[in-house]
């Protein structure tokens, strides 16, 4: 149990050592991870099976277990690998730093939506994900905030980006699974629209008639600007309103 998770830590934080004895491996850990990421990118998280990954490498499922302890650890490695693709924010104003952070995470989510469909909790954090997190905290480190306020500010941005990302990821997955675009799909739901009466759903029919659903604002851009505005109110206020610790769960 304990050793399992510690193996994950070693897997993520320490470079794999090549054995000196025995036949050379035709695969390697990094090649397995790379192939798995390609499969997830191209075919979605549901297609990410050990058999499918092995197939793209010209091997059988069980051969992967020579390089990766199990699927869970493979996911840990995949997630940290894609975090490595993001850039760290340059020094500057807190707002541009947080915005940079948000845009990097958003870009990562768009390139690899499957990361959002994996359970995040208790996933062993790797060095690249941690470096990214550290850089985000650094962006708001010189404003005289208390440590827990620094955490709260970055967390707020993260939660918003996660929220938009999840919606986007679900959409991408649905489009791939059905082969039907979002718009086409909803257009085909006549049976649903029949229930959209002004009596039942006054606001939604009004918005619909005004075209508010057809020409939506960019969810990420709009929301990010608002969230940063809200953080600015907090950060730049004279007397900061302190929200004190409280049971959260």
Partner DNA sequence: ACACCCTGCGTACAACGTAAGCAGTAGAGT
Partner DNA sequence: ACTCTACTGCTTACGTTGTACGCAGGGTGT
CA dihedral (109, 112, 113, 118) in degrees, to 10, reads -100
| Residues whose CB is less than 8 angstroms from the CB of residue 224 and which lie 6 or more positions away in sequence, other chains included | 99, 102, 160, 161
Q: Which stretch binds DNA (CB under 7 A): 42-50, 110-118, 127-135, 154-162?
A: 42-50
Say how far residue 187 (Cα) sits from the centre of its chain: 29
Its sign, for the CA torsion 82, 87, 88, 94, is negative
Q: Which residue has the tokens 């996660």?
A: 162
Say how far residue 35 (Cα) sits from the centre of its chain: 19
Is the Cβ of residue 90 or residue 202 nearer to a second copy in the bound state?
202
Nearest distance from C-beta of residue 204 to a second copy, angstroms: 5
Binders of a second copy in range 184-203 (CB under 8 A)? 185, 188-189, 191-192, 195, 200-203
| Long-range contacts of the stretch 91-100 (C-beta < 8 A, 24+) | 94/139, 94/140, 94/142, 94/143, 94/235, 95/228, 95/231, 95/232, 97/136, 97/138, 97/139, 97/140, 98/136, 98/139, 98/140, 98/153, 98/154, 98/157, 98/228, 98/231, 99/224, 99/228, 100/139
The answer to whether residue 122 forms part of the interface with DNA (CB under 7 A) is: no
Task: Give the span between the Cα atoms of 48 and 39, in whole angstroms.
Answer: 6
Q: Which does 65 bind (CB under 5 to 8 A by kind): DNA, a second copy, none?
A: DNA
The answer to whether residue 57 forms part of the interface with a second copy (CB under 8 A) is: no
Q: Which stretch binds DNA (CB under 7 A): 70-78, 83-91, 100-108, 142-150?
A: 70-78
Nearest distance from C-beta of residue 95 to a second copy, angstroms: 12
Nearest distance from C-beta of residue 118 to DNA, angstroms: 12
Is the Cβ of residue 10 or residue 38 nearer to a second copy in the bound state?
10
Binders of DNA in range 17-36 (CB under 7 A)? 19-27
Say how far residue 25 (Cα) sits from the centre of its chain: 32
The answer to whether residue 7 forms part of the interface with DNA (CB under 7 A) is: no
Binders of a second copy in range 101-160 (CB under 8 A)? 110, 117, 119-122, 124-125, 127, 130-131, 133-135, 137-138, 141, 146-152, 155-156, 158-160
Q: Which does 49 bind (CB under 5 to 8 A by kind): a second copy, DNA, none?
A: DNA
Binders of a second copy in range 206-225 (CB under 8 A)? 206-207, 210-213, 215-223, 225
Binding stretches for DNA (CB under 7 A): 19-27, 48-52, 59-63, 65-67, 70-72
């Amino acid at each position: 149990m304990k050793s399992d998770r510690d193996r994950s830590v070693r897997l993520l934080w320490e470079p794999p050592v090549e054995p000196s004895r025995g036949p050379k491996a035709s695969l390697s850990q990094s090649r397995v991870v790379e192939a798995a990421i390609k499969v997830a990118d191209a075919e979605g998280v549901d297609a990410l099976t050990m058999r499918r990954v092995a197939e793209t490498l010209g091997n059988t499922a069980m051969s992967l277990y020579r390089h990766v302890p199990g699927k869970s650890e493979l996911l840990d490695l995949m997630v940290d690998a894609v975090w490595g693709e993001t850039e760290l924010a340059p020094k500057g104003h807190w707002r541009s730093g947080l915005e940079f952070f948000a845009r990097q995470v958003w870009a990562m989510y768009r390139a690899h939506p499957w990361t959002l469909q994996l359970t995040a909790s208790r996933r062993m954090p790797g060095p690249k994900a941690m470096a990214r997190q550290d850089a985000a905290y650094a962006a708001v480190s010189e404003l005289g905030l208390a440590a827990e306020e620094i955490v709260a500010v970055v967390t707020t941005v993260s939660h918003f980006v996660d929220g938009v990302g999840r919606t986007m990821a679900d959409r991408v997955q649905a489009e791939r699974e059905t082969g039907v675009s979002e718009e086409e799909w909803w257009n085909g739901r006549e049976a649903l629209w029949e229930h959209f009466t002004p009596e039942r759903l006054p606001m939604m029919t009004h918005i619909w008639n005004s075209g508010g659903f057809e020409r939506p604002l960019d969810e990420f851009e709009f929301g990010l600007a608002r969230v940063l505005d809200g953080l600015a109110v907090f950060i730049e206020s004279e007397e900061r309103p302190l929200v004190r610790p409280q049971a959260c769960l």
